[in-house]
């Protein structure tokens, strides 16, 4: 949860909320600091605010023209980070409201058939808010438009602190920058919901964003960050640790190095457990009881990327990709476990390449690891050029779900599936066990 001192400092931030006196009914899920139609910033207005900062338009034709004109802003970029003013964490503090309890029409967009909140929509909101937080950190009041193109590089982690998100209670997002490199920014977001007369924590999210030039072609410098006090210094040091951890995980990737001795023994043990005792042949495999072959635990999907889903930089909105990947992963976990699963965590969503408008987006969901009631799902997305038939990976998503009952064990058959199994186990251990 964000430190309480920011609640005091938020009045000084540019995107803070002023409480409005009003009479509310707690049973309606209406927060006491929310006035109907009158708040500092609503989720529905975040993307409009971003368009103002960048200079984008809601109209498709005007949008393309304005994006082409951004090339002229290159001269406003800093030649080095030292030329930019130092920022504090309170400079980027943002508070945004999602009034599900006070706006029934808005609620329809977030509602599932089972009268719960569509978490994929929450992912979209988190992504937009992370971008706004970073623009708050880098803003230059003297400029009408920001020369920076800030895009999502990685969703480091999303930890669920509560399984239930009520569809008729107001939600509040708060967040700020916690760490800054030369061209990258880490932002933490806390989501809480008003229920039983108070806001209670729902999730904590960590995003890593990168700054690019106005045409989104090369890296650009961002304002340095100076922590103030022990709490902010702790946030900053955690950012340093997160960066080091990401480098170590990338170095130890199974796509680069062989499994550890312990992992090799595990895979061999699974292999021996699937041998047919009657034939004792390397080729004859038998599925153990209460198990599922990994090849039978896939769900695939296809999206045509229309202009409606574009972001402010004329590419497909990262939040849209996260929503589609999450919904496919959830459907896979639901089908695998035979009941509605709950999300435990989102881990290590890597944005490798942008998705262009008009692309054919192929999504493939795979249950790659199970343990007890837990289901680890990996969703791989790639774009297909129908003319050249070339495939390029754009994103990899990792979701951890829990089922009300124990689920069948997933069993790899090939070496490639075994690597997916180990990769899923690594993500599960880091997310759930903290290893």
Share the mean pLDDT of the chain. Answer: 86
Q: How far apart are CA 108 and CA 326, in angstroms?
A: 19
Q: Is 55 left (phi over 0), alpha (psi -120 to 50) or beta?
A: left
Confidence of residue 24 (pLDDT cuts 50, 70, 90): very low
Q: Lowest-confidence range among 18-32, 142-156, 364-378, 404-418?
A: 18-32
* Predicted local distance difference test score (pLDDT) of residue 133: 97
Share of residues in the chain with pLDDT > 90 (%): 61
Q: How does pLDDT run across 329-342, given as a tens digit for each residue?
A: 999 999 999 999 99
For 243-282, give one letter per residue: b (16+ CB within 10 A) or e. beeeeeeeeeebeeeebeeebeebbeebbeebeeeeeeee
pLDDT for residue 278: 79
Structural domains of the chain, ranges and CATH numbers in brackets: 5-250 (3.10.129.10), 259-433 (3.10.129.10)
Under the banding of pLDDT at 50, 70 and 90, the label for residue 25 is very low
Residue 359: which pLDDT band, with cuts at 50, 70 and 90? confident
Q: Which residue has the tokens 């309606």?
A: 28
The pTM of the full predicted model, rounded to 2 decimals, is 0.85
* Maximum average pLDDT range among 125-129, 161-165, 355-359: 125-129
Least confident of 154-158, 237-241, 248-252, 311-315: 311-315
Contacts of 29 (CB under 8 A, 6+ apart): 100, 101, 166, 168, 169, 170, 194, 195
HSE of 73 in the Cβ direction (CA atoms, 13 Å)? 21
Winning range, highest mean pLDDT, from 17-26, 87-96, 153-162, 348-357: 87-96
Do residues 57 and 198 touch, judged by C-beta distance below 8 A?
A: no
Q: What is the DSSP string of 328-355?
A: HHHHHHHHHHTS--EEEEEEEEEE-SPP
Residue reference for tokens 């640790």: 241
Please tell me whether residue 257 adopts helix, strand or coil conformation: coil
**β-bridge partners, 380:** 364, 396
Share of the chain above pLDDT 70, in %: 89
Q: Is the pLDDT of residue 103 over 80?
A: yes
| Tokens standing for residue 256 | 């680069």
Position 271 scores a pLDDT of 93
Q: pLDDT value at position 163?
A: 84
Are the CB atoms for 361 and 305 separated by under 8 Å?
Answer: yes
Burial class (CB in 10 A: 0-12, 13-18, 19+), 4: exposed
Give the pLDDT confidence score for residue 32 in this predicted structure: 53
Predicted confidence at residue 360, as pLDDT, reads 92
Q: Could you give the count of Cα atoms lying within 13 Å of 238 in the half-sphere of its Cβ?
A: 14
Kindly report which listed range (3-12, 289-298, 412-421) carries the lowest average pLDDT score: 3-12
């Amino acid at each position: 949860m964000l430190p309480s001192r920011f609640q005091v400092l938020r009045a000084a931030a540019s995107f803070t909320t002023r409480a409005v006196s009003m009479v509310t009914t707690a049973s309606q899920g209406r927060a006491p600091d929310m006035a109907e139609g009158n708040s500092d910033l609503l989720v529905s207005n975040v993307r409009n605010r971003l368009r103002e900062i960048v200079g984008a338009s809601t109209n498709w034709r005007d949008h393309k023209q304005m994006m082409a004109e951004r090339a002229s802003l290159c001269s406003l970029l800093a030649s080095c980070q030292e030329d930019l003013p130092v920022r504090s964490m309170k400079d980027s503090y943002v508070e945004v409201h999602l009034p599900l309890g006070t706006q029934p029409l808005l609620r329809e967009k977030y509602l599932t058939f089972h009268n719960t909140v569509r978490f994929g929509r929450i992912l979209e909101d988190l992504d937009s808010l992370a971008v706004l937080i970073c623009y708050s950190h880098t803003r230059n009041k003297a400029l009408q438009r920001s020369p920076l193109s800030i895009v999502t590089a990685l969703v480091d982690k999303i930890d669920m602190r509560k399984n239930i998100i009520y569809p008729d209670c107001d939600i509040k997002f708060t967040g700020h920058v916690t760490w800054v490199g030369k061209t990258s920014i880490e932002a933490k977001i806390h989501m809480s919901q008003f229920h039983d007369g108070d806001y209670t924590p729902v999730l904590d999210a960590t995003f890593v964003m990168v700054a690019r030039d106005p045409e989104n072609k090369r890296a650009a410098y961002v304002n340095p960050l100076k922590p103030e006090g022990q709490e902010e210094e702790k946030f900053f040091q955690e950012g340093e640790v997160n960066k080091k951890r990401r480098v170590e995980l990338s170095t130890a990737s199974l796509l680069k190095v062989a499994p550890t001795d312990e992992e090799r023994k595990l895979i061999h043990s699974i292999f021996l457990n699937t041998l047919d005792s009657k034939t004792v042949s390397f080729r004859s495999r038998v599925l153990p009881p209460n198990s599922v072959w990994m090849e039978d635990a896939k769900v695939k999907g296809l999206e045509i990327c229309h202009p409606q889903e574009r972001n402010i930089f004329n590419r497909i909105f990262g939040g849209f990709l996260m929503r589609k990947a999450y919904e496919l992963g959830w459907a896979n976990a639901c089908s695998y476990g035979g009941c509605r699963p709950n999300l435990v965590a989102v881990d290590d969503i890597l944005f490798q390449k942008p998705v262009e408008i008009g692309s054919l987006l192929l999504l493939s969901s795979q249950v790659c690891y199970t343990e007890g009631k837990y289901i680890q799902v990996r969703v791989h997305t790639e774009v297909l050029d129908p003319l050249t038939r070339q495939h390029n990976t754009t994103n990899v998503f990792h979701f951890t779900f829990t089922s009300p009952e124990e689920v069948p064990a997933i069993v790899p058959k090939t070496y490639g599936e075994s690597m997916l199994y180990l990769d899923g186990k690594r993500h599960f251990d880091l997310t759930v066990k903290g290893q």
